[in-house]
A and B are shown apart, each in its own frame.
Chain A
Amino acid sequence: MGDFPHLLFYGPSGAGKKTRIMCLLREVYGPGIEKLRIEKHNFVTPSKKKLEIATLSSNYHIEVTPSDAGLHDRVVVQELIKTVAQSQQLESKTQKRFKVIVLTEVDRLTKDAQHALRRTMEKYMATCRLILYCNSSSKVIPAIQSRCLAVRVAAPSVDDITKILTTVTKKEGLSLSPELAKRIAMKSKRNLRRALLMCETCRVQQSSLSADQPIMEPDWELYLRETANMIVSEQSPRRLLDIRHRIYELLTKCIPTDAIMRGLYKELVHNCDGALKTELSQLAADYEHKSHLGQKQIYHLEAFVAKFMMIYKQFIEEGLDEMMF
């Protein structure tokens, strides 16, 4: 009773993966799981580099983001699991036999670390359970996927979000018009976290919520949209240089490469016709993949933009030629 296999939660951001994990843990261990503390663990890589990784732990579980260690995440995964798993619980009657290790952002783990994980997962099955969670299961190697019970957490539908928003606002003693709730739900792109934040921002901006009130969008999204428009409006080396500065700006604000790439793609795809759309999608996928193999993210993003500029320009010129004849 109360036992479970290794779990792999995957789904888009703001769908409720972490909430489900915490609920599960609470169900298994009781409210003691909520007494959290932050601990610092030190690791030494084979190249004698010292790493300090912050973990979040209760008496029953430990949560760590191995991708914080960058290239050296393999060491973190191995060492941490070993130390946790090797200590057995003293009272097996009253306590659970196992502890839980929560690994976040597994899709950002290097292949090395993932391979290191698969043996450890089997070896320490007796004393610990792993809960992995990530946005996309496609970046988790099949070997790990097959060792886990995969739980897909889909993004909540627009209706779900509207319902949740209404209940939340009711609890806060506000009245939210269904139109605004719907608008927020649409704007949030089915991201519940964002929807709630948007709702709270609306409340702060205007203490009584009205149906046609503006909904705040994050700065970086607006910035990215403007960048995409710049790409479409002109294709030249000079413009590419401007784009570079803007991408730099985004990167320095810690916006992840994937988010930039995805954002650009989504904006650019609006401006493309059929054949070009598929080509663009392929390009985006290609460069996104390459960016994971490299180090300097700016190169990859800019290469993507440059390539798109080229094919877009060709496309436009061909279109013009056809118009002429």
Chain B
Amino acid sequence: EGVYSSEESMDGLWVNKFAPSRYTHLLSDEGVNRSLLRWLKLWDKVVFGRDFHPKKPTEQKSFNKDKQKTSEHFNKFKKTETTTEEEDVRELDSTNRPKLKTALLCGPPGLGKTTLAHIIAKHAGYHVVEMNASDDRSAETFQHKLEQTTQMKSVLGSDQRPNCLIIDEIDGAPKVWGRKESYAAKLNGNFTLQAAINILLNTLNKGKGNEKKKARKSKKTATGVLMRPIICICNDLYVPALRLLRQQSYILHFPPTTSARLASRLGQMCRVQSLDCDLSSLLALCDKSGNDIRTCINTLQFIQSTGTTRVQMATVKSLNIGQKDQHKSIFHVWNEIFQLPKNQRKMDKDSQTVQQQMLEGQKVSQFSTRFYHILNLVLSGGEYEKTLQGVYDNFLLMKFKNSGMTAINKSFEWLLLADRINRHVMSIQEWVLHRYTPYIFVMFHLLFACITPPKISFSQTESEKTQKSGNLLESMFLDMAPSTRCFTSQSTAVLDLLPHLLAIMMPNFRPVNMLLYSSNEKLQLRDLVQSLLAYNLTYRQERNEDGQYIYVMEPNLTEVCHFVEPLEGAKKQLPYAIKQIIAKEVETERMRRSERILMKHDTTEKQAESSNKPVVPNHMQRLSHNISNSVAPEKPVVNFFSRFTKVKKVRENTKQSANKEPIIDPGIGCSQLWYKYNEGVSNAVRCTVYIKDLL
């Protein structure tokens, strides 16, 4: 009662010859098969216009009733899918299409994903159109083909079934790790892949946008709405380009076929081909190929073609099946490095070199098995630098046999070697040296592997943080006054300057209005402002999470200088008011400086400044004749507008010390406040205000 009958035998590859032709021959997991079929059946309503009433999952047997053949022996493979997932899928949307418009099959190669998709589509009554990586997948052709298959139907010819599109190998070309030259190509490939997937998504979403419109338009289907099922197949579900598609697809994971089942099927196959074999050697073959159906069949055909009629354990063992270039996740690599192998048998299969040695009659120690295992693993994983970083992050967390310092020191020697190799490779592009890096991981494995599964953690934050403080420093240096910069370098800034500068930035000012400061304090404030400007620092107002306003340093160098734990006496913080005063002063001083530069361009102003004589305004010329010679006492002048022009005060103050020019009596003239009688106009009190005073 085998699946294959001997009269079917013909020439050609066994893979094609023994490919299952009907649903019941499928070797893949029954649960997956059913789920896919059920999903496809949901399209019946819109494609064939007939209702699909799924049976209760308990009535498994009747499921296949439209095929006359009910095969009993499949029933022993129990369903593995959870029912809740199926409930989800079973719902139809307003256009009577299933909620998830595409099915996404994913799993390692050689499990029969493509075969499954074809058979199921055929089984449900569709004409299969396949698109795979060998086709041109530029955006235009993709769109064209997509429209062609989902909206058209062959009118002529015998085959009038509706189309079902199968997009195979949707995750794109296989990746080449660690090679620079292919990087651009990969990017390119990804780019077009992304474009193609975007088109696919657009097609999927067309229905959603005009759902309302369609409700009015009754049953008439709008053009462009996807009315045919699409099945996508991929190996790696987590390719970035697939991210959006993943959310809208009915995802089916392919579990690997069990060895026993595969072996029994291979046995049937061998019987048809009159190849003598026993089950154990077939099991070994399955094991060796990682339950890859395609590889197994090909291997068997190869064995027969060499003239042997008997498959024996030794032949299987001596075979050099190409190890698949499966991409193992980096976590897997780390786990393997830090974990002792579980059983010996499993190890044997992985490393061919060991097997070869075994065949040659050499004694293989456990160490060399482990050695080659890790070596191969790391080699296939690539990404040495990342792997090394992970290993470094984690090796101190391992359990140590003795106190461990010798082991740690040994490992550091290797780490330094790796670092040195890396630096050398990077500086003179001598990639040849990279071949020595994997051995370092072997060393780590031998030193630190333990039986308990390790907890691997990985973080990339450290480098980012360094980047951040580096950027802060850079931004400080960028606008620093050239004369200051001349005497500071980055290292001296960090080591000597900044810690002190930050302390200097926190003077003991009284939190009162600036006008009330003593002259000493004002001088101190002025000094502080000068030095802040020289180093391009200021305080900037910011809102914290509580919604309160705080002043933070800009650029925030406290992050560079202060360490996590408060060291002997928590850092004192400047009160808000003082920071505000400083910030304001810095701002005004900055503007004043820029104004001064502008004024220098103005020659008249320059003259006035160089002669240091204040220009006497018109109105004073008349009034001043009797007061011009009287000398003012040296006290700061306060008029009643001083509140509005307090900035000016400081400036006056600073000026006073600079020019000891006799100041006119605070009578009428110098207070800049005068009275002029204008008939019929009420704005009698006037005050000269310059823009620069307001700043």
- Segment at the interface with A among B26-34, B107-115, B461-469, B579-587: B461-469
Total A-B Cβ pairs within 8 A: 171
B489, A104: Cβ atoms under 8 Å? yes
Does chain A have a CB within 8 A of B423? Answer: yes
Does chain B have a CB within 8 A of A251? Answer: yes
Does chain B have a CB within 8 A of A290? Answer: yes
Contacts A237-B396, A253-B469; A218 near B499 (Cβ below 8 A) = yes
Does chain A have a CB within 8 A of B104? Answer: no
Measured CB to CB, the nearest residue on chain A to B496 is A194
A236, B403: Cα distance in complex, Å: 7
Which of A206, A218, A290, A306 touches B496 (beta carbons < 8 Å)?
A: A218
A222 CB to nearest chain B CB (Å):
5
A31, B151: Cα distance in complex, Å: 82
Does chain A have a CB within 8 A of B678? Answer: no
B314 CB to nearest chain A CB (Å):
47
Which of A54, A104, A253, A302 touches B477 (beta carbons < 8 Å)?
A: A54
Does chain A have a CB within 8 A of B404? Answer: yes
A223, B564: Cα distance in complex, Å: 10
Which of A218, A241, A256 touches B500 (beta carbons < 8 Å)?
A: A218
A169, B170: Cα distance in complex, Å: 76
Does chain A have a CB within 8 A of B490? Answer: yes
Contacts of A288 in B (CB 8 A): none
Contacts of B468 in A (CB 8 A): 252
A295, B422: Cβ atoms under 8 Å? yes
Contacts A294-B416, A307-B409; A248 near B462 (Cβ below 8 A) = yes
Measured CB to CB, the nearest residue on chain B to A70 is B427
Measured CB to CB, the nearest residue on chain B to A68 is B490
B506, A204: Cβ atoms under 8 Å? yes
Measured CB to CB, the nearest residue on chain A to B428 is A112
Measured CB to CB, the nearest residue on chain A to B417 is A294
Which of A13, A22, A38, A238 touches B482 (beta carbons < 8 Å)?
A: A38
Which of B426, B486, B563 touches A56 (beta carbons < 8 Å)?
A: B486
Contacts of A237 in B (CB 8 A): 396, 400, 404-405, 408
Does chain B have a CB within 8 A of A14? Answer: yes
Contacts A18-B487, A56-B486, A309-B405; A219 near B419 (Cβ below 8 A) = no
A44, B515: Cα distance in complex, Å: 55
B408, A306: Cβ atoms under 8 Å? yes
A34, B481: Cα distance in complex, Å: 12
Measured CB to CB, the nearest residue on chain B to A287 is B416
Contacts of B524 in A (CB 8 A): 207
- Residue among A13, A201, A255, A295 with max Cβ neighbours from chain B (10 Å): A295
Contacts of A176-220 to chain B: CB distance below 8 A: 191, 193-194, 197-198, 200-201, 204-207, 216-220
B504, A71: Cβ atoms under 8 Å? no
Contacts of B520 in A (CB 8 A): 207
Does chain B have a CB within 8 A of A249? Answer: yes
A56, B489: Cα distance in complex, Å: 12
Contacts A36-B483, A222-B567; A255 near B412 (Cβ below 8 A) = no
Contacts of B181-231 to chain A: CB distance below 8 A: none
Does chain A have a CB within 8 A of B495? Answer: yes
Does chain A have a CB within 8 A of B682? Answer: no
Contacts of A22 in B (CB 8 A): 486-487
Contacts A218-B495, A218-B500, A253-B469; A293 near B485 (Cβ below 8 A) = no
Contacts of B404 in A (CB 8 A): 236-237
Instruction: Give B531-570 as 1s and 0s: 1 = Cβ < 8 Å from A's Cβ atoms.
Output: 0000000000000000000000000000011111001100
Contacts of A253 in B (CB 8 A): 469, 494, 560-561, 563
What are 19 inter-chain pairs, A to B, with CB distance below 8 A? A38-B482, A47-B429, A54-B478, A193-B497, A204-B503, A216-B500, A218-B495, A251-B466, A255-B495, A290-B420, A294-B416, A296-B419, A300-B416, A303-B415, A306-B408, A306-B412, A309-B405, A310-B405, A310-B408
> Which B residues have a C-beta under 8 Å from some C-beta of A?
392, 396-397, 400, 403-406, 408-409, 412-413, 415-416, 419-420, 422-423, 426-427, 429, 462, 465-466, 468-470, 473, 477-478, 482-483, 485-487, 489-492, 494-497, 499-501, 503-504, 506-508, 520, 524, 560-564, 567-568
> Which A residues have a C-beta under 8 Å from some C-beta of B?
13-14, 18-19, 22, 34, 36-38, 47, 54, 56, 63, 65, 71, 104-105, 110, 112, 191, 193-194, 197-198, 200-201, 204-207, 216-220, 222-223, 226, 235-238, 240-241, 244, 248-249, 251-256, 259, 290, 293-296, 298-300, 302-303, 306-307, 309-310, 313
Supply 11 further A-B pairs (C-beta < 8 A) apart from A194-B500, A198-B500, A252-B469.
Answer: A36-B485, A216-B500, A217-B499, A218-B496, A223-B567, A249-B564, A254-B469, A295-B419, A295-B422, A296-B419, A307-B412
